[in-house]
Amino acid sequence: MLTTFAELLASRREGTAVGAFTCYDLEAAGAALQAAAGAAAGVILLIGGRSYTDPDGGLLLAALVAAARASDARACVQLDHCADLAVIEAALEGGAGAVMADGSELPYDENAAFVERAAELARRHGAGVEAELGHLSGDEDVATAVAAGALTDPAEAADFVARTGADCLAVSIGNVHGTYRGAPRLDWDRLEAIRSAVATPLSLHGASGIPDEMVQRTIATGVGKINVNTELRTAYLGATAETLPAVLEGSRLNALHAAQSAAVERVVAAKLRAFGPGGVP
């Protein structure tokens, strides 16, 4: 069932975070929703900015919204990482329940002004807006090993949230998009300082590859939304490679899709357990 971004974030139990999972097709979306329904957990279906601006991106957004509406799980569809107000407005008009207005590559004042304008658009549609302060290295759609980018300044966080009206703040504390160059090293003091500065829910992007115990520590320190992408793609493509030889005879496409969905569902189910009370494995 469709649920607002604000409701998902506000209704999470203490010691938990809402899982947000990038969906490139309905196999992944259906798997995420099935896992969420099984865990009685709310979930966010992410559609990447580049996926949405592809020729059939509007159809994918509409399909994700329809799948979320029909699911037993509480779900919201969010446009992820977009730096174009026209694209953000189109996604909101197309049914997105939240947008990630990413001005993180802009100077501070320009980033704040961009997010403020995006928040005004979102409010007109009853939708939520997420922003990023600092900048995460890497690519949301291509997994390469990178080092951490510009870290979030706790001294700027309160002013930024107040100026922008953001419902959720994505932080850069050593996390990256894609894969990590070496073991992940998160700046715990920085995260605690950010949490002390703002009451707005915090978001952790680049969770793929961060050990569950570290993820649980971020939740305990105030992170309320966690994005997962790379591990889903790895599972999806691994199932494709493993299953494809057996299904080529007879062109059994349904069997391939079933294997892809099952692989993604296992990952999402494991993540939702890790994001739950106590990080139950």
Cα 118 to Cα 191: distance, rounded to the nearest angstrom: 25
Give the tens place of pLDDT for each residue, 203-251. Answer: 999 878 889 999 999 999 999 999 999 999 999 999 999 999 999 999 9
pLDDT of 88 higher than 60: yes
- The mean of the pLDDT values for the chain is 91
Cα 268 to Cα 33: distance, rounded to the nearest angstrom: 9
- Please give the average per-residue pLDDT across 167-173, as a whole number: 94
Instruction: Determine which one of 25, 80, 153, 167 is catalytic.
Output: 80
**Per-residue pLDDT, 150:** 80
**Per-residue pLDDT, 206:** 82
pLDDT of 266 higher than 50: yes
Domains held by the chain: number: 1
Which pTM was predicted?
0.92
pLDDT of 148 higher than 80: no
pLDDT of 140 higher than 70: no
**Residue 139: which residues within 8 A CB-CB, separation 6 or more?**
177, 178
CB atoms within 10 A of CB 163: 17
**Percent of the chain scoring above 70 in pLDDT:** 92
- Please give the average per-residue pLDDT across 111-116, as a whole number: 97
Active site residue 80: yes
Cα 171 to Cα 204: distance, rounded to the nearest angstrom: 6
Give the tens place of pLDDT for each residue, 240-258. Answer: 999 999 999 999 999 999 9
Confidence class of residue 149 from pLDDT cuts 50, 70 and 90? low
The whole domain housing 207 covers 5-279
Residue 55, SS3?
Answer: coil
**CATH code of residue 177:** 3.20.20.70
**Percent of the chain scoring above 90 in pLDDT:** 81
